[in-house]
């Protein structure tokens, strides 16, 4: 395949993804139809020859991590699910675990960073660690604005499971990832 052909295919892949991601107001059967149509087109464009270099990204933080080496059919399905969700096929934005696609911290951070009109900040308080160093609780202060609206604030207390080697910094580092998962899900629904 020539680089011109590869570029042409990449543009067609991006167009298929854009037809789904660009439809923020569409819902229900209309959205399902668009997703089904885009999925079929992506499956036909992602030929074994085109997938070959993408398969090289499996197991790498430059591409996507996986719990084992998966065959092309599973990678293709997970790749399609990831890109139609808004994730990028590089930069470890999704993982393949047990044959399924899962957004990563990097992927959820990307979705939040690219959510039009959203600005947010997560600030942690000092954790309360139990005497046996096996668990902690931490309050996370979330400040956010959506599309120029009013400043919103939430306080969420999260339990953190610890091990003997974790310090305060490790305890503080865990909650933002948990919060990004929850907020990303909320924002995707709000789209």
Question: Is 51's pLDDT higher than 60?
Answer: yes
**What DSSP line would sit under 26-41, residue for residue?**
--HHHHHHHHHHHHHH
Task: Tell me what pLDDT residue 188 has.
Answer: 44
Question: Is 64's pLDDT higher than 80?
Answer: yes
Q: Over the chain, what is the mean pLDDT?
A: 85
Q: pLDDT tier at 178 (50, 70, 90 boundaries)?
A: low
Highest mean pLDDT among 80-84, 105-109, 143-147, 182-186: 80-84
Q: Are 80 and 46 in contact (CB under 8 A)?
A: yes
Higher pLDDT, 118 or 184: 118
Which secondary structure element, helix H or strand E, spans residue 124, and what is its range? Answer: strand 118-124
| Tens of pLDDT, residues 87-121 | 999 999 999 999 999 998 889 888 888 888 888 88
Nearest 10 degrees: Cα torsion 154, 159, 164, 167: 10
* Cα–Cα nearest to 17, from 105, 67, 82: 82
| Tens of pLDDT, residues 1-44 | 556 677 788 898 888 898 888 787 888 999 899 999 999 999 99
Higher pLDDT, 170 or 80: 80
Task: Tell me what pLDDT residue 68 has.
Answer: 96
């Amino acid at each position: 395949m020539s680089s011109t052909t590869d570029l042409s295919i990449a543009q067609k892949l991006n167009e298929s993804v854009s037809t789904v991601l660009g439809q923020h107001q569409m819902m229900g059967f209309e959205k399902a139809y668009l997703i089904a149509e885009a999925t079929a087109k992506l499956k036909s464009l992602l030929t074994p020859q085109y997938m070959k270099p993408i398969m090289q990204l499996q197991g790498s933080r430059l591409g996507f991590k996986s719990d084992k080496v998966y065959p092309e059919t599973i990678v293709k399905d997970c790749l399609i699910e990831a890109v139609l969700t808004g994730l990028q096929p590089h930069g470890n934005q999704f993982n393949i675990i047990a044959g399924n696609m899962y957004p990563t911290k990097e992927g959820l951070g990307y979705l939040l960073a690219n959510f039009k009109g959203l600005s947010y900040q997560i600030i942690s308080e000092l954790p309360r660690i139990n005497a046996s160093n096996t668990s902690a609780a931490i309050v996370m202060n979330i400040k956010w604005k959506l599309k120029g609206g009013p400043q919103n604030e939430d306080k969420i207390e999260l339990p953190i499971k610890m091990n003997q080697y974790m310090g305060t910094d490790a305890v503080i580092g865990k909650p933002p990832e948990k919060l990004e998962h929850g907020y990303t899900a909320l924002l995707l629904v709000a789209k």
